[in-house]
Structures are given as C-alpha cells and as structure tokens.
Structure 1
C-alpha cells in the first residue's frame, strides 16, 4: 500500500470512528486531522470536502462486504443449514460494520438512505439470485425478491433493537433470535421433501 493510500485509509478510519461517536454534523475536519495525526490540509488534499470524505469512507466499508462470497461458500449445503449460516454471517456482518451503522443512525435522511441502500441492495441482489436458483430447482416456494427482503429486514430489525437498547430489550440473546428466525424462515419457504 502506497503512503498516500495509507494516509487516506488512516483518515477514513478516524473519520468513521468520530462520525459514529459524534455524528457527521458534529465532527469537524480539524478533529479528524488531529486524531489521524495529519494536517487538516492533508484531509482536503485527499478528499476535497468533508462530504467526499464521508462518502468515500462509507463506500470503502460497504465495499469490504463480500456477500456473494458468503453465499457461494454454502450453496451446496442443505437449505436449513444455509439459512442458519447466512443469518449468522449477516449478523456478524452488521456487527463488523457497527460503526457505520451508528453513523447512519445519526444522519439526516438523505445520507442515511445512501448507506442503507448501498449495503441492503448488495445483500438483497445476491440473495435474490440465490433464492431464484433454488426456486428453479423446486427446492423452495415463494417470491425470491420478497424472500430476500424479508430475510434481510428480519436480521436488520433484530440488530437495530440490539443496538438501540444496548442489548437490554430481552433476555434472549440476539444469536438465539437469529437462529429462531432462520428456522422459521426455512420451514415457511422450503418445499416439503417426500
């Protein structure tokens, strides 16, 4: 990695941390520069504006999500196992991106939609393709688009409640909730085996 790339990455790391702690609007480029141990001018040389820094930071973290790789690794397994594995993997993915998620929660609608749509679309597109393949084989019944939306929204919903309540909403662990979701999802959509 070149020195310029290392500096850009460091600035983005710090920006994500500060945006998640203080919110986008309360974080200044001066604070980002200070914590990244660079001159504020360096921040502007790399990103031109605070908004560009924000967009590149979120795009960088969303890009790191390799949803298609997750699905491709499990394709040959049993549907029940796949749904359970996918549920856990997506939950892990949300925890991995928890700073980005916290940033999103503090943003105005326009910026929040940018992040949410980017990550949700990627996940849903991969799931739609996966569910379409299974439907063509007769292994599942249901509309693949609806299945993908339901699947993602259930995991995201459990994660959101977890984040908003600091895990105090229920005494049931988020992992158990996600496992139960996977069990119900697969029993609802899987065609009956003879």
Structure 2
C-alpha cells in the first residue's frame, strides 16, 4: 500500500469513527491526511468507496470470512462456538469500524459490513451440515440468530455497560451456544 493511500485510510478511519460518515467531508479527510482532496478521488473514486476500503482494509483483523474459514473444524458443536466467539472478538478488536457502521443508517453505508458476508458464510456452512445430516435447524435462522445475539451483547456492552457490570458476556454466549447445540445438532 502506498504511503499516501495509508495516510488517507488512517485519516478517514479516525474521522468516520469520531464524526460519522455523513458528517465527514472528503475535504476534512484530505486536510487530516495532508493531501489534496482530488487525491482521494483519484485513489478511491468516491467517498463510499473510501468507506468500503476503510472497513475492509483497515479492520484490525481483516476480512472476517477469511479468518473464520481457517478455524472451521467441521464439528458442528465446536464450530458454533467458533462462530460465536470469533465474531464477538472481531467486533471488539474492530471497535472503530463498528462505531462507523452503527452511526450510519443511510442506504449507502449499510452495505459496507463484514457481517453480511459472515452471515452468508455461516448459512452456507449450516446448509452443508444439514445436507450431511449433522445439523437439523434452519441455516438462515441460526446464522442470523448468532449474529443478532453477539451484536446485541456487544452493542449493549459498548453503549450500556451497566447492564453487564455483574454478568460475564462469555457466560451469556455459552448458554446460547449450549442451547443451539442441544436443539440443532445430532
């Protein structure tokens, strides 16, 4: 990655996470990066492409599907634990990316997320396990449930930490995992 591109991504990450996508102009990003605004458009073509680049290339752990693909054991019980805990750690380690996405509610910014791809990856995994006969649940429902549960715990931990002041999030996730395993695996 070129030094100029790196400077732009760093500046955009900082400003998007602090001010949100809509409240951050390419002019502000250019000033913070020490480049001309035209340079941003030469490098990324649009502000939305820059946001996508920030989310995919500047995330602490990179692209979550690539990470999870190497951890899968093909044991459904173990893999449900991996899906759940890996996603939580991904959110925790990418708090700036999370804050950018939470602040954005317009149609353009909603599509810039690892979560959509992660859910699709899990759905495909559970569909395969269902075809093999080791999983009996609805792949879409279970994938969406895992993401919703983890995102809910993480969101409350970030925005309302007093809710979990005497509860370990691992305990909450482990109860959820145990129930999924009992209900949907053979």
TM-score interval, smaller chain: 0.7 to 0.9
Indicate the residue corresponding to 1:70 in structure 2: 68
- TM score, norm. by length of structure 2: 0.83
Q: Where does structure 1 differ by over 4 angstroms across 4 or more consecutive aligned residues?
A: none
Q: Which runs of 5+ in 2 are unaligned?
A: none
Q: Which runs of 5+ in 1 are unaligned?
A: none
Indicate the residue corresponding to 2:126 in structure 1: 131
Q: C-alpha root-mean-square deviation of aligned residues, in Å?
A: 2.5
- Partners in 2 of 1:138 and 1:52 — Cα distance? 42
- Partners in 2 of 1:108 and 1:179 — Cα distance? 31
Indicate the residue corresponding to 2:163 in structure 1: 169
- What is the number of equivalent residue pairs in this alignment? 184
Q: How does 1:107-118 map to 2 (within 5 A)?
A: 107-115=104-112, 118=113
- Partners in 1 of 2:26 and 2:156 — Cα distance? 31
Look up the SS of the partner of 1:26 in the other structure: coil
- TM score, norm. by length of structure 1: 0.80
Question: 1:137: how far off?
Answer: 2.4
Checking the alignment, whether the CA contact within 8 Å between 1:141 and 1:189 is kept in structure 2 is yes
Question: Which string of whole-angstrom CA distances, capped at 9 and with x for unpartnered residues, describes residues 16-52 of structure 1?
Answer: 2211111123223333223323343433432344344
